Amino acid sequence: MRVGGETTMKPIISGQGQETASPVRANRVRAWLNANAARFPGKPFIESIAQKRVATHGEMAALSAKLGHYLAARGIGANDRVVLLSGNSIEHLIVYLSVLAHGATICTVNVEMNHAYLGDLMAALDPRLVIDEEGLGLSLPE
């Protein structure tokens, strides 16, 4: 919306998020994750029926902060491209939202579907970091 020559945005959420995920400026995804973790820490955030796993809002915020620190330690900042090589899993969503909460750009590549084009995709994306879902080691309750 434009008001008096300036662009203003109506807030999507109320309240402010905690500045715990990474040194990158707070954003709406991080604020949303932290607000939900404060309000509903033990309630399910995402459940994978296929994997028989659940991540709560509290776990999601903690994992997002952990991944944010990991990215920051590797110099990944705002708008840097991060490629996630993955299939469909609970970890995929956790990494996806965590990278967005950090302020970087997430590029997901389904390896099974894009195996033949992986080299071309990597050259076109030119990522600062590639994360392989299999090597994440995210600790969620089984």
Q: Identify the pLDDT of residue 141.
A: 44
Q: Strand 105-110's sheet: what is its strand order? A: 105-110, 81-86, 129-132
Q: Identify the pLDDT of residue 135.
A: 58
Distance CA 24, CA 14 (A): 20
The set of residues, in sequence order, having a beta carbon less than 8 Å from that of 123 and lying 6+ positions away, is none
- Using alpha carbons only, how large is the chain's radius of gyration in Å? 16
- pLDDT (tens, 9 = 90+) of the chain, 142 residues, equals 333 333 333 333 333 333 344 444 458 899 999 999 999 999 999 998 888 889 999 999 999 999 999 999 999 998 899 999 887 888 889 999 999 999 999 999 887 777 788 889 889 999 999 988 765 555 444 4
pTM, full prediction: 0.73
Q: Identify the pLDDT of residue 65.
A: 93
Return the amino acid letter for 142. E
Instruction: With beta carbons less than 8 A apart as the criterion, state whether 107 and 83 touch.
Output: yes
